Every structure is written in structure tokens, then in C-alpha cells.
Amino acid sequence: MTNPWGCRCWLLTSPRSGSTYLQHLLNCNVVELRSSSDARDRMRHSFEEHLNSRFCTSWDDFLALDPLVTKMHCHHFGAHLVRRREIKGLFPGIRFVLLERKNVWQQAVSLAIANRTGVTHCTSDETHQSFQQMAVEPTDDELLNCLKAVRDYQAFWRNWLHSEPHLVVTYEALIEEPAQTVAGIFDYLCTSCDQLVLGVPVRKLAHPATASLVQRLKTIQSERESERQLVLH
């Protein structure tokens, strides 16, 4: 893979949007991810050092390699440089990829399940089976809070980007057409890859309670909205 223009890119993400899977696909075609055990302390002292990474698992894991893509979570990003003008001044020619999930209901439920179980990724069939057997009973307020958080994440990045040109990648496209999605990102970065490698697919977390929780969340949201309208009138 070549990156002749040295284009820097920030991958703008939110929880449960498929960023780990996308990161996996990108790394299969660029470099194996490594992390530093003392990354948390180093991050406190050096913001720009983190920005010299390629594909980062979080603000607490980074590697110092030739810069290409840095993964940015909005809930961490807000405490640091937030003006596009400043970012573009530091990194001329920087590009932005916004990773979103069309189905915010499923994203909210996925976030609620992750919060309840503490499981965000499964690396084996055994752990995935164990995850599916976990009892998950989030409260109504937990579900609503997760829905609000997901919508706030989307609004944060859209407001931050404003009219800035960027590429939108959806979770759904990533799952259904991973090869085309990665190729589209490389094309956007004016970067070439001789042959795309998808590697070992990352297991998609699918808890049996997801569908019922999505329906429950929609019902709760509708009921709360009806109550709010009654109060207003």
C-alpha cells in the first residue's frame, strides 16, 4: 500500500458504530496494530504524539508509525482540540471520515447491553457463546439515556464538521460490503492498495435480547413523548 501524498485522516466515531471492525479491516491492509502499556500516562503528556499514530484502538492505545489515520471518539475528543481551524492549521490537507450507524435504535440497545455486560468485543466462539447467554435487563432510563447519547454523538460530529468536506461510512455498509467500504476509504484518501485483504472477520456481537429491547425502547420513547406533549398542552 502506498500513501504518496502523506494524507492525514481522522476517523470520527462513536460507541457501537463498528469502528473496531473497520479498524481491523484497515489494519489488515496497512500495518498490524500494536499498543503501548504506558499509553495512558503518555497520552496525558503528549496530545500530538497520539496524533502521529495510524489506527488507534482508543485514546489510551497508540503507536508511533507513519501517520495515516487516527481514530477519534467524540466523548474523548471534546476535552481536547475541537476547532477545525486549529486542526487544519496543524495538519494541512487533513481529511475526515465519519463513521455512523443508520439504525440508532440498535446502536442505543447495543450500547446499553455493552454497559450492562461489560462486553464490547468477542474474540472467540466460546466468548461469543458466553456473551449470548448473559442475562440483560437494562432499565427504561438506561435505554433512553443510551438513545440520547447516540443522538448526541451524531449531533456532535455533524456540528463539528459543519460544512467541512468529509466521507460518511455507515455501519450497515461496513457489515454488508466490507471490501467496497475499505476501497472507498482508500480512494477518498488518494491512497492505493494493490490487493485488499479482509483478514479474519470480527465477530458481530448479536445478543438474543436485542430485537425485543429495540422494540421496548421504541415503545418507551413513544410513551415518554406522549407524556411530554400532554404536559405541554
Residues in the chain: 233
pTM, two decimal places: 0.73
Whole-angstrom Cα distance, residue 187 to residue 191? 6
Tens digit of pLDDT for each residue in 124-160?
A: 777 777 888 888 899 999 999 999 999 988 888 888 8
Whole-angstrom Cα distance, residue 143 to residue 107? 11
In a domain, 1, yes or no: no
Q: How many domains does the chain have?
A: 1
In a domain, 4, yes or no: no
Q: How would residue 118 be classed by pLDDT, with cut points 50, 70 and 90?
A: confident
51, 215 contact by CB (below 8 A):
no
Which residue range(s) make up the domain with 220? 9-232
Burial profile 129-160: b = 16 or more Cβ within 10 angstroms, e = fewer: eebeeeebebeeebbbbbbebbeebbebbeeb
In a domain, 3, yes or no: no
**Termini Cα distance of the chain:** 61
CATH at residue 29: 3.40.50
Tens digit of pLDDT for each residue in 74-95?
A: 555 554 445 677 667 766 777 8
Phi–psi pair at 73, nearest 5 degrees: -90, 130
